[in-house]
Chains A and B, each alone.
Chain A
Amino acid sequence: MLDRRPTWLTITLYVSAGLLAGLAIGPTLFLLLVALQPSGSNLVSIPTQPTLANFRQAWTDGDLTWPFVNSVIVTVVRSLLNVFLAALAAYPLARMNFRGRNVLFVVILATMMIPEQVIVVPMYRTIISMGLADSLIAVIIPFSVSAFGIFMCRQAFAQIPASLEEAARMDGCSSFGVWRHVMLPLSAPTLATLALFSMIGAWSELLWPLVVLQSKDNFTLPVAINQLLGEFATNPRMAYAGAVLALIPIIVAFIAAQKWLKPGLFAGAVKG
């Protein structure tokens, strides 16, 4: 057993914890304070008369209603598709013998090396030629599945004992039945974590929606807030309030889902 922690170390750890926590929430807290102040007041001051005026103005003048709805749709659909498609693809890769399995797996993994930022131009041309430009479908489809997700699911499926699968087959389950009734329930934590990651990514994404969306009614929240920054440059507090509004739902969703945030699942990322 290591000897008990000396006092100096305990103090250092608590001070570190305080500093890190301050760093993590400080900027957001400052943003919130500034957004609560009436326009024209000093940035660095405690709001003596906090007001929701900036929030109201951001929502109405900034037309955030549709972007909000769009962001919710994009985030929910993309997370569901990410889990569904990755789990589907992972099943044969983890559990079946077939021609081309290794080749397909390597090809899938290779897409991890292709950065979205490099291929935005052809992606955009493809979306146009499909007649999907300026639609939510265009925001969803290209990122509806990821190699990372497939890899995560494959790892989880590979650990499920073969006897369970065989028992299900004996009971007359089809391949799809095994996937649905054995694979999915037994890897629920992995699937939940994947959903959480997809959710965070979809809610945050700016580059791709910025490229494919043109009309205001189709904007997602990050695009709309980016627009606020430019359009209402004289009253930046509107964008600040808008930014706070965009933050609240994802924080709430994250805290609700936080039990799926386990270091063990990051160990999987380590091998990827």
Chain B
Amino acid sequence: MASPIRQRWFTPYAFLAPAIAVLGVFFLLAMVQVLYYSFTRYTPFSVDGPRWVGLENYRRLLLTERFWFCLGNSFLYLLVTPALMALSLWAAMVVESALRWAKGLRLVLFLPVVTPTIVAAIAWAVVLREDGGLINTMLGLVGIDRVPWLTEPPFTLISAMFVTLWKGFGFYMMVFLAGLLAVPKELKEAAAIDGASRFGVFRHVTLPALWPVLTLVFIISSISALKVFEEIYVTARGVPVEQQTAVPLIYLEAFEKGDYGMASAIGITLFLIILAFSLVNLRLSSRRDPAAT
């Protein structure tokens, strides 16, 4: 750890100051502000700034059907998590098995991660277009009617999930790959010598060793599913906001309707849900690695 070297008392703080200033003003202070705004009436035209209204925004929120629909859709969006985990684990196992072009494959599978979300969403919008899109054309060949992927819920939600899945699996593949490479080879070999089948080795050695990584990926991909905005905003363009998710609703309330108080109340609600996931993660990670701070 830290070496006992003489330094002036302010040196460490000087190193930390710029980062603390940015994170302090734009994250910590903002978090306090959003909590405060959620108890106020506040619009872009409020000359005297926010005015305290107590729980009014929350009361309105609970009575608004649109809020419940969006929140429900956000939870529905969590369905992308198991698909994302399965796809990225599959990819990691293929890449780990050291085929001849494993390195090139790893690179190719990471390309969607690099792709800007709006580009990914547009590409999928083309693939999923109702008339003449790739998927509907293929479905047409086997006699299935046009699916309104981009215009009607719940298909719009599923389309956005395709984008999230496509853009995310390369990233989690790398996380799983790190986990797979950390499984001690000797353990696998010992199990094989004891007569375990390939599936047995996977089931009884690899999977348990991978458990911490699985729980971590589950939590972080769930949190990012709850935070989804760009995929929905682009693919579900033209769909009424009550058929979208929580973050697009925050955006609408704040920047199209100018109701900062309401937007903040939705933000706080979403934050509390996300916080629950983060706390579970903290719990799990302290169990994963007691040495880590």
Residues of chain A having any CB pair with chain B under 8 Å: 1-3, 5, 9, 13-14, 16-17, 20-21, 23-28, 30-31, 34, 42-44, 85-86, 88-89, 91-98, 101-102, 104-105, 107-108, 110-111, 113-115, 117-126, 141-142, 144-145, 147, 150, 158, 162, 165-166, 169, 175, 179, 200, 203-204, 206-207, 211, 221-222, 225-226, 229-230, 239-240, 243-244, 246-247, 250-251, 254-255, 258, 261, 263-264, 266-267, 269-271
Contacts and interface: CB of A to CB of B under 8 A. Distances in A.
Interface string B85-101: 00000110010010101
A170 B276 CA distance: 49
A7 to B, nearest CB: 13
Interface string B208-244: 0000110010000001000101100110010000000
Contacts of B79: none
Given A28-B115, A229-B237, 17 more contacts: A3-B192, A24-B166, A43-B137, A44-B133, A85-B18, A88-B15, A88-B18, A92-B13, A98-B13, A108-B20, A114-B31, A115-B227, A121-B33, A122-B37, A145-B19, A206-B229, A246-B119
B69 interface: no
From B116, B127, B198, B292, name the one whose CB has the most chain A CB atoms within 10 angstroms. Answer: B116
A126 B174 CA distance: 37
B27 A31 contact: no
Contacts of B247: 117, 207
A166 B5 contact: yes
B234 A119 contact: no
23 contacts: A20-B91, A20-B109, A24-B166, A27-B127, A89-B15, A89-B19, A98-B12, A113-B275, A118-B250, A120-B250, A121-B260, A121-B263, A123-B26, A165-B3, A166-B5, A206-B230, A225-B122, A226-B234, A246-B118, A251-B111, A251-B114, A264-B178, A267-B182
Interface residues of B, number: 103
A165 to B, nearest CB: 6
B60 to A, nearest CB: 16
B134 A44 contact: yes
